[in-house]
Structure 1
Amino acid sequence: MTEIPDLSGRVALVTGASRGIGYQIAKQMAAAGAHVIAVARTVGGLEDLDDEIKKAGGEATLVPLDLTDMAGIDRLGGAINDRWGKLDILVANAGALGVISPLGHVEAKVFDKVMAVNVTGTWRLIRSVDPLLRKSDAGRAIILSSGAAHSARAFWGPYAASKAAVEALARSWADETKNSALRVNSVDPGATRTAMRAQAMPGEDPDTLPKPAETAAKILPLASPALTETGKLFQVHHERFVSYRMPE
């Protein structure tokens, strides 16, 4: 899964694009020929990304947007439809960690924020762009999850629950669209040298972790028009797809 796909002429929406894995995915997709719609709260990070993309000869449209702005997400879908009439690639990367804490100590406002960004925001995004992805000849949806969704480690409750929910959304969406040209997959990026990782693991040596650009390069092939897998979890660390076991 290391071959760089040709994304020439394709339109890609990447959330959480101002830093970390999202920044690198957006940059690499633009380098592969896609017009990138870069979404994030941080304007400065988006402008840095735009500079990097333009320097390499690529194109981007910047969208400063907080994914708790549900009406804003709805407007985004409408704007994409008006300008391009379709969407080829969705990378739902934006996420909130919340706090690493016993469940009983988590403040309600923190729990609600994690769910609003990670779950409700992702669902609203799916709802907004699903018709646009179906108009593509090879729509691709890449939903960022986490190993926490499966390990459910102590003190990671809100984040783990949110990522498990996001995977469930992706699986249902994949099943709904399995007879179409749209392919939907979740991604567990594994430990990566990001600000969120540093927040979660403050004692960890960041030099022992892959950089976001390395992780992004392994995710990029999931946007390929040649991809056939859908409804699966791609584990970047192992470079493999995992099929969910469906009930009998």
Structure 2
Amino acid sequence: MNTTEHDKVALITGSSHGIGLELTRRLLSEGFQVVALNRSAFPEDDPLIRESLERRRLRVHRADLSDFEGLRRALGAIKASEEKIDVLFNNAGGSVPELTFSRQGRELHFELQTVAPYVIAMELRGLLRNGALKTVVNTSSNAFDMMRRFDPDALERPASFKQLFGPYAASKLALSLWTRELAPLLERDGIRIRSVDPGPNNTLRKGKRSGLPFYVEPLMRFFFPPPSQGASRLYEAAFGASRELSGVYLRKDRARDLPFREHGPRVLEKVRSIHEREFAAG
């Protein structure tokens, strides 16, 4: 896709609903071109989305990000068709109600929310180098504040399952930990990477079973703000006061300390090994 020097290109995963959709709409309205990497389709009744698709300012690639075969095809198509990426938002995610494994045999939250963002960032590193902003924003969570133990070697096949505060929280912590560890390497290319907690948002989807504890769903439905709030926090993480920082975990636009930082090198080693031995070699 030909872009002018002044065009900004954002790639957003999980951009067809919730926080990702609100972020997509905001960036399109500000003149960005958006490359979407989604499992599901965009809503058909959104005028801005429809117009952007027709004008090719919104370009869609479909894949289940937890399935390496489909993800490999989609990333190959992106690398073949795009000249640059200014900012990458690794936003895709979600929670499942019971212990579930990916096609590769790893726990699904870990595959989707820890491994896939690393794979995407590393595979698109060349396009990020070509961009002007050279920024990666990973969507994390404060759910890991409730964790009392963290074992990197249990991420792939946990012995037990707890909704929200089990594998989901562990996968988000692992994401922020490898973000912190990877930052010095990416800075050699001028790329800055951050993880951010989007805060509480009502991202419930009608007809879809969530992985939330029973007492959280009514709170989310009636008291949590709309996903536009989370989108604003991702936007600020990319373009706001912290835009010069790298490796940080942001909550309410401020850098916060991560728990279990001593496990960061081990987490990075795990995702790097999976990428090199399974994805890149596939």
| Same fold (TM > 0.5) | yes
- Does structure 2 conserve the Cα–Cα contact (< 8 Å) formed by 1:74 and 1:125? no
Percent identical residues? 27
Give me the whole-angstrom Cα distance separating, in 2, the residues matched to 1:35 and 1:163.
Answer: 28
Give me the whole-angstrom Cα distance separating, in 2, the residues matched to 1:107 and 1:192.
Answer: 24
Cα offset, 1:8, TM superposition: 5.5
Cα offset, 1:139, TM superposition: 0.8
Give me the whole-angstrom Cα distance separating, in 1, the residues matched to 2:15 and 2:58.
Answer: 11
Report the 3-state secondary structure (helix = DSSP H, G, I; strand = E; otherwise coil) of the residue aligned with 2:66. Answer: coil
Residue segments in structure 1 that go unaligned for 5+ positions in a row? 1-6, 100-105
One of 237, 249, 270 as aligned partner of 1:233: 249
One of 109, 122, 126 as aligned partner of 2:121: 126
- Does structure 2 conserve the Cα–Cα contact (< 8 Å) formed by 1:183 and 1:229? yes
TM-score, scaled to structure 2 = 0.71
- Does structure 1 conserve the Cα–Cα contact (< 8 Å) formed by 2:202 and 2:220? no
Cα offset, 1:58, TM superposition: 8.3
Give me the whole-angstrom Cα distance separating, in 1, the residues matched to 2:108 and 2:25.
Answer: 28
Report how many aligned residue pairs link the two structures.
231
Bigger mean CA offset, 130-139 vs 23-32: 130-139
Give me the whole-angstrom Cα distance separating, in 2, the residues matched to 1:58 and 1:218.
Answer: 26
Cα offset, 1:244, TM superposition: 5.2
* Aligned residue runs from structure 1 range 210-229, under 5 A: 210-224=225-239, 227-229=243-245
**Cα 1:112–1:205 shift into 2, 3 Å:** closer
Report the 3-state secondary structure (helix = DSSP H, G, I; strand = E; otherwise coil) of the residue aligned with 1:176. Answer: helix
Alignment partner, residue 3 of structure 1: none
- Does structure 1 conserve the Cα–Cα contact (< 8 Å) formed by 2:93 and 2:112? yes
User: CA RMSD for the aligned pairs?
Assistant: 3.0
Report the 3-state secondary structure (helix = DSSP H, G, I; strand = E; otherwise coil) of the residue aligned with 1:125. Answer: helix
One of 94, 110, 115 as aligned partner of 1:115: 110
TM-score, scaled to structure 1 = 0.80
- Does structure 2 conserve the Cα–Cα contact (< 8 Å) formed by 1:17 and 1:46? no
Alignment partner, residue 13 of structure 2: 15
Residue segments in structure 2 that go unaligned for 5+ positions in a row? 149-161, 263-282
Cα offset, 1:89, TM superposition: 1.0
**Cα 1:243–1:229 shift into 2, 3 Å:** farther
Give me the whole-angstrom Cα distance separating, in 1, the residues matched to 2:22 and 2:124.
Answer: 22
Residue identity matched to 1:107: L
Report the 3-state secondary structure (helix = DSSP H, G, I; strand = E; otherwise coil) of the residue aligned with 1:202. Answer: helix
Give me the whole-angstrom Cα distance separating, in 1, the residues matched to 2:57 and 2:87.
Answer: 15
Report the 3-state secondary structure (helix = DSSP H, G, I; strand = E; otherwise coil) of the residue aligned with 2:58. Answer: strand
Alignment partner, residue 49 of structure 2: 53
- Does structure 1 conserve the Cα–Cα contact (< 8 Å) formed by 2:22 and 2:227? yes
Matched, 1:202 2:202: no
